[in-house]
Structure 1
Amino acid sequence: MIKVNIDSIRVSLMSQLRVVILKDPISSKYLPIFIGPCEAEAIAVKLQGMAVERPLTHDLLKAMISELGGQVKHIVVNDLRQDTFFAQIVLDLNGELREIDSRPSDAIALAVRLEVPIYVEDSVMERAGIMPDEEIDGEGAANGEDGEGSGQLSIFEDFVESLDLDDLDSEDDEE
């Protein structure tokens, strides 16, 4: 597993889709994951330290886990199937580790509230991770150098092409 940081949350100017960009600080690979506007806001609210009048859904989830005696150890983006990412919330409940299926956006929103590590499985980063200076042309590293997975991430290719990733290396990591 690869420990990642949240690099940014971006909006495509072409489609208004939101994407959370996870960064592997060791390899400098980025993993773009499409997320909904509500989840993007939930993540951004916490990252920017904004106060909200009433608890958001992820704040409620955090409170429930705590009240029930659980502790989130970490979250992991553990799979990619048919252009859809999957995640798990790894929870310690009375000394027993439990893995709860989750959308990556919800798992990330919970992770930022609990300040727990975010991981990506090696195989997921291999298949969908990109370097900021790579060309995404359908045959580059985003699909595997040998062309494996060609066509599998076409929606990501279109979206990533619309982003300006050159400025990612110049931004300071917040963590």
Structure 2
Amino acid sequence: MISLRVDKIGLDPEHGQAIVLLKDDEGRRYLPISIGPFEANAIALAIENVQPPRPLTHDLLKTVLDNLDAKITRVLIDDLKEAGDGTGTFYAQITLEAPGRLIEIDSRPSDAIALAVRSGCPIFALEKVLDAAAVSEESNGPQVH
């Protein structure tokens, strides 16, 4: 597993799609993941410590988990399934630690990242995912505006 952090959120200038750009801890590889505009906003608000007047969905889920004494311990981006047309879908797992239990939950990476940023838990990706989709630092990373 490779440790990642959110480097930036922006738009892919070529397609106009929201992107979350994860960077490995060594700063050598970037993992760009296309996400929806609402998820991009949710991640950005959490990174910037902006408190909306009412809780967003990810804030609500974090509050529910806190009240159940469950803690998000990690997010793992564990798969990329190619669609055959040059696109693909990333998959993620959220690991929760609850009293007496360890729980793995299937998630979209965008939701998992939004929760990771709120809970301060680490984000990881399997090496096979980075091998398939990461862009190297030498290529100046993906262009995100």
TM-score (normalizing by structure 2): 0.89
Aligned to 1:90: 95
Relative to 1, partners in 2 of residues 1:10 and 1:75: Cα closer, same or farther, differing over 3 Å? same
Which is strand-richer, 1 or 2?
2
CA-to-aligned-CA distance 1:77-129 (integer Å, 9 cap, x gap)? 01111210000100012132111000000000000000110011111111111
1:14 partner SS: coil
2:139 partner SS: coil
Larger radius of gyration: 1
Relative to 1, partners in 2 of residues 1:20 and 1:116: Cα closer, same or farther, differing over 3 Å? same
Aligned to 1:17: 17
Aligned to 2:35: 35
Q: What percent of counterpart residues are identical?
A: 42
Aligned to 1:65: 65
Is the CA contact 2:13–2:144 (under 8 Å) kept in the aligned structure 1? no
1:7 partner SS: strand
- Runs of 4+ in structure 1 over 6 Å off: none
More relative contact order, 1 or 2 (CA 8 Å, 6+ apart)? 2
RMSD over aligned Cα atoms: 1.9
* Pairing 1:41-120 to 2, within 5 Å after superposition: 41-82=41-82, 83-120=88-125
- CA–CA distance in structure 2, aligned partners of residues 59 and 28 of structure 1: 32
User: How much does 1:36 deviate?
Assistant: 0.3
TM-score (normalizing by structure 1): 0.75
Unaligned runs of 5+ in 1: 137-159, 166-175
